[in-house]
Amino acid sequence: MIVKTNNAYIMSFAAAVGKKEGEGPLGNRFDYIDEDDRFGMKTWEMAESECSRLALSLAFNKAPMAPSDVDYLIAGDLENQCVASCYGHLAFEIPYIGIYGACSNLTEGMALASMLISGGAARRIAVVTSSHNCAAERQFRSPIEYGGQRTPTAQWTVTGAGGYVIGECGKAKIADCMIGVVQDKGQSDVTNMGAAMAPAAADTLLRYFKESNTNAHDYDLIITGDLGDHGSMLFKHICEISGYEVGNHTDCGKLMYSDEQDVHAGASGCGCIATVFGGHFLPHIECGKLKNVLLMATGALMSKDSVTQGQNIPSISHLVHIVYEEGKQ
């Protein structure tokens, strides 16, 4: 079901990323680049918390506003029980809503924020999502120190966090949203996240097209989260055999790194779409170069236990429709 929203705009955004992300083609679009991925902390997990805290602090500074100006904080990450978000935002003392949609966290958070604001339950809401390459690898696959060979379909988890403030003014308006439906197409390979997530992205987009009576040509861009090279090809194929061409599709996972950085199939992680959309695409919306965009973060809903027990990897994708609104300050 498409949910129409009112008075929900992206007021402010900031991104903090790691060294590898800063060396990529979008490095100059981010607000903070750490020199060694530790963000001054002694563990990878603590580093992710600090990265998340930095992103939100920078977003507040840009607005400018204080934590007390925000009614709720919606945040999520890839660590067990979302502890990176919990620890990272303790000092803000904002009423907290923790979410776990894996790498779909950004648009899940945006959708929830816009619905709460539209319903009068809040005026301003912060949305933060983060990931850390070393923390994610340790939890879901093999520790980095193990040195296992990566497959061609493997993606590189982004070290980074994006902090957004959703509120009553801005030029990027969240016009409506659609919550995804969990999909399980039998994929169980943890080194091929794109194949696991592509069916969910296609399902959400096709349901949105049918309910809104639109198609890809009605939008400037259709942006997915982190399908990467293989997932993007599969996503387009599913849409095409369903009767929809999506030639204006682009994927944040394909934009984060250059070919020379040898990340195989592209980027992944909650920090991927959170930093790439805000740093690369959002400025084009705010200046009116992009006026009508569909944004879909995609998530593989696995845990370290489900993987070791041989279960399939369900996936989900949430959609937010973002439009340019001139003069809304």
| Same domain membership, residue 184 and residue 105 | no
- What pLDDT, on the 0 to 100 scale, is given for residue 245? 95
Write out 183-244 in H/E/C secondary structure: ECCCCCCCCCHHHHHHHHHHHHHHHHHHHHCCCHHHCCEEEECCCHHHHHHHHHHHHHHCCC
| Same domain membership, residue 98 and residue 7 | yes
Picking from 167, 201, 216, the residue at the C-terminal end of a domain is 167
> Rounded to whole angstroms, how far apart are CA atoms 131 and 295?
19
100 falls within a domain: yes
> Which range has the worst mean pLDDT, 62-76, 180-194, 223-237, 242-256?
180-194
Picking from 152, 167, 182, the residue at the C-terminal end of a domain is 167
Average pLDDT score, the chain? 93
- What pLDDT, on the 0 to 100 scale, is given for residue 170? 95
Cα separations in angstroms, 14 against 88, 211, 215, 296 = 15, 33, 31, 19
Q: How sure is the predictor about 303, in pLDDT bands with cuts at 50, 70 and 90?
A: confident
| Tens digits of residue pLDDT in 35-44 | 999 999 999 9
| Tens digits of residue pLDDT in 82-99 | 999 999 999 999 999 999
Greater confidence (250 vs 148) lies with 250
| Same domain membership, residue 176 and residue 158 | no
The neighbour count for residue 181, using CB atoms within 10 Å, is: 11
Residue 253: phi, psi to the nearest 5?
A: -65, -20
- What pLDDT, on the 0 to 100 scale, is given for residue 329? 58
Asked whether residue 156 carries a pLDDT value surpassing 90, the answer given is no
Contact indicator for 267, 252 with CB cutoff of 8 Å = yes
Residue type, 268: S
Contact indicator for 189, 234 with CB cutoff of 8 Å = no
> Rounded to whole angstroms, how far apart are CA atoms 99 and 74?
7
| Closest of 117, 137, 113 to residue 127, by C-alpha | 113
Indicate the length of the chain as a whole number: 329
Burial class (CB in 10 A: 0-12, 13-18, 19+), 296: buried
Domain count, the chain: 2
Q: Which residue has the tokens 């999909």?
A: 183
Would you tell me the crossing angle of helices 133-140 and 44-62 to the nearest 10 degrees? 140
> Rounded to whole angstroms, how far apart are CA atoms 215 and 226?
22
267 falls within a domain: yes
| Closest of 291, 277, 295 to residue 224, by C-alpha | 295
| Same domain membership, residue 263 and residue 305 | yes
| Same domain membership, residue 285 and residue 209 | yes
| Same domain membership, residue 224 and residue 78 | no
Judging by DSSP bridges, how do beta strands 9-17 and 32-33 pair with one another?
parallel
| Same domain membership, residue 187 and residue 97 | no
| Same domain membership, residue 211 and residue 133 | no
| Tens digits of residue pLDDT in 262-300 | 888 789 999 999 999 999 999 999 999 999 999 999 999
112 falls within a domain: yes
329 falls within a domain: no
Picking from 117, 146, 167, the residue at the C-terminal end of a domain is 167
| Same domain membership, residue 127 and residue 183 | no
Handedness of CA 176, 182, 187, 193 (dihedral sign): positive
Segment 145-150 mean pLDDT: 56
Residue span of the structural domain in which 79 resides: 2-167
| Same domain membership, residue 91 and residue 136 | yes
Greater confidence (264 vs 124) lies with 124
> Rounded to whole angstroms, how far apart are CA atoms 285 and 274?
15
> Rounded to whole angstroms, how far apart are CA atoms 257 and 115?
33
- What pLDDT, on the 0 to 100 scale, is given for residue 193? 83
Asked whether residue 211 carries a pLDDT value surpassing 60, the answer given is yes
203 falls within a domain: yes
| Same domain membership, residue 112 and residue 215 | no
| Same domain membership, residue 233 and residue 101 | no
- What pLDDT, on the 0 to 100 scale, is given for residue 143? 58
Report the CATH number at residue 229: 3.40.47.40
- What pLDDT, on the 0 to 100 scale, is given for residue 142? 61
